[in-house]
Amino acid sequence: MNTSKDKIDIRSLSLEALQEHFIRLEEKNFRAKQVYEWLWKKSCISFNEMSNISKELRTKLEENFIINDVKIHNSQFSSDKTIKNSFILHDTHLIEGVLIPTSDRMTACVSSQVGCSLTCKFCATGYMERKRNLNADEIYDQVVLIARQARENYGLPLSNIVYMGMGEPLLNYKNVLESVEKITSEDGLNMAAKRITVSTAGIAKMIKKLGDDQVKFNLALSLHAANDEKRNTIMPINEQNSLKSLAEALKYYYAKTKNPVTFEYIVFDGFNDTIQDAIELAQFCRHLPCKVNIIEYNPIAFASFINAGEDKIEAFAEYLRQQNITTNLRRSRGKDIDAACGQLAIKEKEKVS
């Protein structure tokens, strides 16, 4: 009998690799396809639930493979109906993911890494150490669990997914793209790629790679300053990925995909809230078809930033609109449970020993 340590993580295998294992187990090819459907189409996390598989084969699966599923560790409910989850991984690491319900959509905000290595000064996750990348199935599981919450709590299906939780998705490129494939494939959850947005702090060469791979999902860039000096101050990643290099990468990405880009911009009080800042942002927007989401800042214990006043934000947004730039004001959700943008971080007391 194999111990769990010796067993193969079945969801790490492609269909072709799974079929090869089935030949070794003296099982027919089509059985591998059935098991694959159970795993990705029906989100099954137990071999015993695979009802059209013989008991003998289920025993073989138990002996040779393991399903390292993600489980909900804790859930918090906000007064605005947002639900924040800490998820426990098979190796006891914790990550967070959020269900954001609004009048017209149910959005899952998912993590791509345990912690983050980018140290953005305004983001709670940036003050955590990056432990590891998430596997594709661990991202997929977050979507499945949050979709279940949407149905159970609000009677509605999941409509959108944003990769805006913990971590930098483009530093976990392979697994993020594989998770999108599993979520959008007919052999998986069959969600439309246009309902998925991947958000990046800005890694120029990986943005170009998205173009080369002609991805179908939406891309959002966390910009927060259209001035290198200011952006360097709050986002150290900008020192190796200047605004000029990001503009070139985004133009390349657009030429390859024809997908417009969303720029996310937090207006910090006394830092990037002037009309001059808005002028610089408008100039950056000229590089390609885009829209701007102005995001409310959510204070964190580690940083002293505060949100700009309503009048400053309105004036900022109005200037952009006068330049014919589509501009949306995004109000925070789940602030009272630290579930809002930039607030995701595992507290010490939550850690699993």
Residue position matching structure tokens 């709050």: 234
Q: Are 201 and 247 in contact (CB under 8 A)?
A: no
Helix H or strand E encompassing 22: helix 15-24
Q: Are 167 and 113 in contact (CB under 8 A)?
A: yes
Would the pLDDT of 32 be above 50? yes
Q: Are 252 and 214 in contact (CB under 8 A)?
A: no
Q: Which fold has domain 8-66?
A: DNA polymerase; domain 1 (1.10.150)
Would the pLDDT of 60 be above 70? yes
The residues, ordered by sequence, that sit 6+ positions from 292 with a Cβ below 8 Å of its Cβ are 262, 263, 264, 265, 281, 285, 320, 325, 326, 327, 328
* Integer Cα distance of 302 and 292 in angstroms: 27
Give the domain ranges of the chain: 8-66, 71-350
Helix H or strand E encompassing 96: strand 94-101
Q: Which fold has domain 71-350?
A: TIM Barrel (3.20.20)
pLDDT of residue 332: 61
Catalytic residue among 27, 96, 138, 296: 96
* Integer Cα distance of 55 and 352 in angstroms: 35
Catalytic residue among 123, 239, 341, 348: 341
Q: pTM of the predicted model, to two decimals?
A: 0.92
Query: Is-catalytic flag, 341?
Result: yes
Percent of the chain with pLDDT over 90: 80
* Integer Cα distance of 127 and 221 in angstroms: 20
Q: Helices 136-154 and 173-184 meet at what angle, rounded to 10?
A: 40
pLDDT of residue 330: 81
Tokens of 71: 């489980």
- Quick: pLDDT tens for 214-254: 999 999 999 999 999 999 999 999 999 999 999 999 999 99
Residue position matching structure tokens 């305004």: 122
- Quick: pLDDT tens for 295-343: 988 777 677 788 888 999 999 999 999 999 999 998 766 555 554 454 5
Q: Are 143 and 183 in contact (CB under 8 A)?
A: yes
User: How far is residue 286 from each of residues 2, 202, 203, 343, measured CA to CA in Å?
Assistant: 59, 17, 20, 31
Would the pLDDT of 182 be above 50? yes
Query: Is-catalytic flag, 96?
Result: yes
pLDDT of residue 162: 97
* Integer Cα distance of 353 and 350 in angstroms: 9
Weakest-pLDDT range from 43-47, 185-189, 223-227, 330-334 = 330-334
Would the pLDDT of 158 be above 90? yes
The length of the chain in residues reads 353
Helix H or strand E encompassing 147: helix 136-154
The CA angle 202-282-126, to the nearest 5 degrees, is 30
Q: Are 58 and 48 in contact (CB under 8 A)?
A: yes
User: How far is residue 80 from each of residues 76, 335, 340, measured CA to CA in Å?
Assistant: 11, 9, 11
- Quick: pLDDT tens for 89-116: 999 999 999 999 998 899 999 999 998 8
Confidence of residue 344 (pLDDT cuts 50, 70, 90): very low
Q: Residue type at 76? A: Q
Closest CA to 22 of 76, 59, 61: 61
pLDDT of residue 342: 47
